[in-house]
Amino acid sequence: MEQKYLSLAPTNLKNKQSTRYDGTGFSASLEEFSEQDKQTLLTVYQHIKAIYDVWLYMKEAPNYRILQPNADWFLSEGFLTIAKDLGANDEYPSIHIQKILHDIRGGALMSMVSHANKIKAMNLYHEVDIMRSFVFLARDQAKMMRNAVHDIDLMTRAADERIRIHSIYDYVQKWNNFEYHHNDRTITVKVQCYFEGNVTTCCLEASALDRVVYNFVNNALRFSKEDTITITIFPVGNILRWVVENKIQPENITWLQEHIGNDFSLLFKGGITNEGNGIGLSNCADIVGASFGMSAPEAIEQRYITATVREETFYACFHWNAVVENE
């Protein structure tokens, strides 16, 4: 393994939990949201889940054009209006609710919109690869919404809690060559994986991991200077190190120097943001910390989650426990 990846964090990290993290701890109930936001969450979730449900029904003989109305809805004035207003018209005193709304507005949703734009503009409703990618984005977003709002779909949430092993192959297949389309630009994600094995033990844990990965990738997409983002995954003992790297513009390097100096831990503590709200990376620290049985400040201090800039490349790094036998 290249030294640049090994040197990002200690190689003797330990899991402090006696039992495996189950993906819980960072959710709210529908009743904690305003009536407007509650209805928006239900509407968006129902549309997203319908996409994957239709695909499950027809996947033995898929006819992706059937999904045209589902894809087009994400470009409709109705969706764009409620998505823009989600969390914007109500003041929530709890940062907890603000963090949940952040992950729902981001997550796979922004990628679904970018995919829908390309599909409609180029009439790609019959193209298997991009339509399947759109379906899997819907699957991930639905799972993340059930993780974040625990009573939005009680029956499926209960299924998410059951034992179901997820292989690292699921993540490599999902992310390698993933394309994000925005304006006239296409950014491609490449994956380097040096691990063969399993990474989560149930869908709820997988959706918690997804909340971290999507936050990291979405952050890289916003600031990538070039058209490639790289995810590198490798084991350090029984712990997996995930590194998301992208080239950044000189003005972004200057911005980082002015706002955090050399203390990149500030990025994960919240409140430090460039054209955002500073919540996403602090969400990641919460979840990663919980997965190792520690608080977010502990996880940041001990570099279970960390970042740095070397030359003109931004490296964001976090860790997750691999699944070992007898778990």
Pair 174, 300 in one domain = yes
On whether both 167 and 307 belong to a single domain, the answer is yes
List the alpha helices (DSSP H) in the chain.
Answer: 3-6, 35-58, 68-73, 77-85, 95-105, 109-121, 128-148, 154-160, 168-175, 203-223, 250-260, 280-291, 296-301
pLDDT of residue 60: 76
Do 186 and 98 belong to one domain?
A: no
Last residue of a domain, one of 160, 180, 196: 160
pLDDT tens digits for range 20-43: 999 999 999 999 999 999 999 999
Q: Is 251 exposed, middle or buried (0-12, 13-18, 19+ CB in 10 A)?
A: exposed
Residue pair 268/281 in contact (Cβ under 8 Å)? The answer is yes
Out of 119, 141, 160, pick the residue that ends a domain.
160
Same domain, 273 and 255: yes
The answer on pLDDT for 54 being more than 70 is: yes
pLDDT of residue 155: 97
Q: What is the CATH number of the domain that holds 305?
A: 3.30.565.10
Q: For residue 59, is pLDDT > 90? A: no
Most confident of 79-88, 271-280, 307-316: 307-316
pLDDT at 238 over 70: yes
Task: Tell me: do 135 and 64 sit in the same domain.
Answer: yes
Asked if 73 and 47 touch (Cβ cutoff 8 Å), the reply is: yes
Q: Are residues 244 and 154 in the same domain?
A: no
Q: What is the pLDDT of residue 182?
A: 72
Q: Stretch 252-267: mean pLDDT, rounded? A: 89
Name the one residue in this structure whose structure tokens are 């084991």: 235
Q: Are 179 and 304 contained in the same domain?
A: yes
Q: Per-residue pLDDT tens for 121-146?
A: 999 999 998 999 999 999 999 999 99
Domain that holds residue 239: 1-22+163-327
Terminus-to-terminus CA distance in the chain, angstroms? 27
Q: Which of 109, 126, 160 is the last residue in one of the domains? A: 160
Q: In the prediction, which pLDDT does 327 show?
A: 60
Are 97 and 59 contained in the same domain? yes
Type of residue numbered 65: R
Given pLDDT bands bounded at 50, 70 and 90, which one contains residue 261? confident
Of 76, 130, 85, residue with least CA distance to 104: 85
**Which of 248, 233, 222 shows the shortest CA–CA distance to 190?**
233
Locate 108 and state its tokens. Answer: 């796979």
Residues 199 and 318 in one domain: yes
What pLDDT score does 229 carry? 97
Q: How confident is the model at residue 271 (pLDDT cuts 50, 70, 90)?
A: low
What is the model's pLDDT at position 272? 67
pLDDT of 276 higher than 60: no
Task: Please give the Cα distance from 292 to 14 (Å, whole number).
Answer: 8
Residues 193 and 317 in one domain: yes
Radius of gyration over alpha carbons of the chain, in Å? 19
Angle between helices 168-175 and 203-223 in degrees, nearest 10:
30
Average pLDDT, integer, range 75-80 = 94
Mean pLDDT rounded to a whole number for the chain: 93
Query: What pLDDT is recorded for position 285?
Result: 96
Same domain as 314, residue 168: yes
Closest CA to 232 of 318, 321, 131: 318
Q: Which of 105, 115, 111 shows the shortest CA–CA distance to 276? A: 105
Residue 145 sits in the same domain as residue 207: no
Q: What's the confidence (pLDDT) of residue 277?
A: 58
Residue 61 has pLDDT above 90, yes or no: no
pLDDT, tens digit, 9 for 90 and up, residues 158-208:
999 999 999 999 999 999 999 998 767 899 999 999 999 999 999 999 999
CA dihedral 35→38→40→41, nearest 10 degrees, is: 170
Alpha-carbon distance of 22 to 202, in angstroms, equals 7
* Total domain count, the chain: 2
In this prediction, residue 315 has a pLDDT band, given cuts at 50, 70 and 90, of very high
